[in-house]
């Protein structure tokens, strides 16, 4: 089976690995991302982790076709650098593709993380068979990608636009973009953590599994805002299915039940009936899987 290297550069962590053509993760590692740090240092750290994985495949007689790179921000039209990204300012304008290709001696393909994630869901996950698929990824920020009739929507920054910055509450939490009460500001890891007394997301998710009341309340409130945001986005994209991914989605029904009930309250009757909201099964690896998959088989 054909293989690709995969990198998913997020606002807090960078995931690195090898992904097969069927979407399975063959190897994976996580390193921290320093959002304000020197880009070369991040590239060097990525190469230091990825090169041994690539070498091991080569030693086993397997070839790696290229490297898919998922990035948390808009791309230039040549897909060589990020041009806008609230959560990774140090990488803005940096020639990321060239820096990686020079070091890895493999072709690297950059993709907006929200596109990469929705492709993973569409090909291998909860989005299979959807006609109009909206995929949202929750983490340090919130991104969204859209696939309609098998094609990725590209109209702002090589993706569906900054869906996380629709404004839900003009007096809400301050957002990294400079506005207030954006969907992202209301449902990000930081917002969830704040609602749970400053506990990290991983801890909130595991405590919710043990029925901890504060963790459950924080997830329910976050889900309520997300349901409102998805109801606001629905008239724009008219999705028949919405898949929710990213680290926070590991909370499962503790988050999703609240998203669905808020969506039922806020969305118009047509969407309430036709749109299914499903959690991702990739536990946050969807960006890496989608970026690698697009390297092996571009979407039409
Ligand atoms: Zn914003």
Does residue 121 lie within any of the structural domains? no
Q: How confident is the model at residue 159 (pLDDT cuts 50, 70, 90)?
A: confident
Question: Is the CB of residue 65 less than 8 Å from the CB of residue 4?
Answer: yes
Q: How confident is the model at residue 300 (pLDDT cuts 50, 70, 90)?
A: low
Question: Is the CB of residue 181 less than 8 Å from the CB of residue 168?
Answer: yes
| 88-144 pLDDT tens trace | 888 999 999 999 999 999 999 999 999 999 999 999 999 999 999 999 999 888 999
Decide the pairing of beta strands 64-71 and 108-112.
Answer: parallel
Question: Is the CB of residue 8 less than 8 Å from the CB of residue 288?
Answer: yes
Q: Which of 14-23, 81-90, 284-293 has the lowest average pLDDT? A: 81-90
Tell me the CA–centroid distance for residue 58 and ligand 1, in Å: 43
Shared domain for 147 and 47, answered yes or no, is no
Tell me the CA–centroid distance for residue 280 and ligand 1, in Å: 24
Instruction: Give pLDDT, residue 155.
Output: 80
Tell me the CA–centroid distance for residue 167 and ligand 1, in Å: 7
Question: Is the CB of residue 146 less than 8 Å from the CB of residue 239?
Answer: yes
Shared domain for 269 and 291, answered yes or no, is no
Instruction: Give pLDDT, residue 11.
Output: 82
For residue 199, give the nearest of 185, 216, 181, 175 by alpha carbon: 216
Tell me the CA–centroid distance for residue 224 and ligand 1, in Å: 18
Q: Give the residue numbers spanning the domain of 229.
A: 126-279
Tell me the CA–centroid distance for residue 221 and ligand 1, in Å: 19
Shared domain for 141 and 203, answered yes or no, is yes
Instruction: Give pLDDT, residue 37.
Output: 75
Does residue 28 lie within any of the structural domains? yes
Question: Is the CB of residue 192 less than 8 Å from the CB of residue 218?
Answer: yes
Shared domain for 135 and 269, answered yes or no, is yes
Instruction: Give pLDDT, residue 243.
Output: 98
CATH code for the domain of 55: 3.30.420.40
Tell me the CA–centroid distance for residue 176 and ligand 1, in Å: 6
- Gap between the Cα atoms of 22 and 273, Å rounded: 33
Q: Given the structure tokens 């393909």, which residue do they identify?
A: 109
| 246-290 pLDDT tens trace | 888 889 999 999 999 999 999 999 999 999 999 999 988 999 999
Shared domain for 271 and 290, answered yes or no, is no
Shared domain for 101 and 202, answered yes or no, is no
Shared domain for 201 and 265, answered yes or no, is yes
Instruction: Give pLDDT, residue 30.
Output: 95
Question: Is the CB of residue 5 less than 8 Å from the CB of residue 53?
Answer: yes
Tell me the CA–centroid distance for residue 139 and ligand 1, in Å: 14
Tell me the CA–centroid distance for residue 187 and ligand 1, in Å: 11
Shared domain for 204 and 142, answered yes or no, is yes
Shared domain for 146 and 212, answered yes or no, is yes
- The domain tally of the chain equals 2
Does residue 120 lie within any of the structural domains? no
Does pLDDT of 38 surpass 90?
no
Shared domain for 82 and 99, answered yes or no, is yes
The ipTM estimated for the assembled molecules is: 0.99
Shared domain for 81 and 157, answered yes or no, is no
Is 173 strand, coil or helix? coil
Shared domain for 34 and 174, answered yes or no, is no
């Amino acid at each position: 089976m054909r293989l690709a290297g995969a990198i998913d550069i997020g606002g807090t962590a960078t995931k690195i690995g090898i992904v097969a053509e069927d979407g399975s993760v063959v190897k994976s590692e996580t390193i921290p991302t320093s959002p304000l740090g020197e880009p070369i240092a991040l590239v060097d750290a990525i190469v230091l982790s990825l090169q041994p994985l690539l070498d091991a495949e080569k030693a086993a007689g397997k070839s790696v076709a290229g490297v898919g790179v998922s990035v948390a921000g808009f791309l230039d039209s040549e897909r060589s650098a990020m041009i806008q990204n609230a959560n990774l300012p140090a990488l803005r304008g940096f020639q990321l593709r060239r820096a990686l290709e020079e070091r890895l001696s493999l072709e690297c393909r950059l993709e907006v993380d929200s596109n990469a994630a929705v492709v993973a869901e569409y090909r291998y996950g909860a989005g299979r068979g959807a006609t109009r698929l909206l995929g949202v990824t929750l983490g340090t920020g919130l991104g969204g990608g859209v696939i309609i009739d098998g094609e990725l929507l590209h109209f702002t920054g090589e993706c569906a636009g900054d869906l996380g910055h629709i404004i839900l509450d003009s007096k809400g939490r301050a957002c990294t973009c400079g506005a207030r009460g954006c969907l992202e500001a209301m449902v990000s890891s930081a917002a969830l953590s704040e609602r749970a007394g400053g506990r990290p997301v991983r801890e909130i998710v595991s405590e919710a599994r043990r029925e901890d009341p504060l963790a459950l309340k924080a997830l329910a409130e976050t889900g309520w805002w997300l349901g409102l945001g998805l109801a606001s986005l629905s008239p724009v994209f008219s999705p028949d299915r919405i898949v929710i991914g990213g680290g926070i989605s590991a909370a499962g029904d503790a988050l999703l039940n609240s998203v669905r009930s808020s969506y039922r309250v806020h969305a118009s009757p047509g969407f309430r009936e036709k749109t299914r909201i499903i959690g991702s099964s990739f536990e946050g690896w969807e960006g890496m899987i989608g970026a690698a998959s697009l390297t092996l088989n571009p979407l039409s």
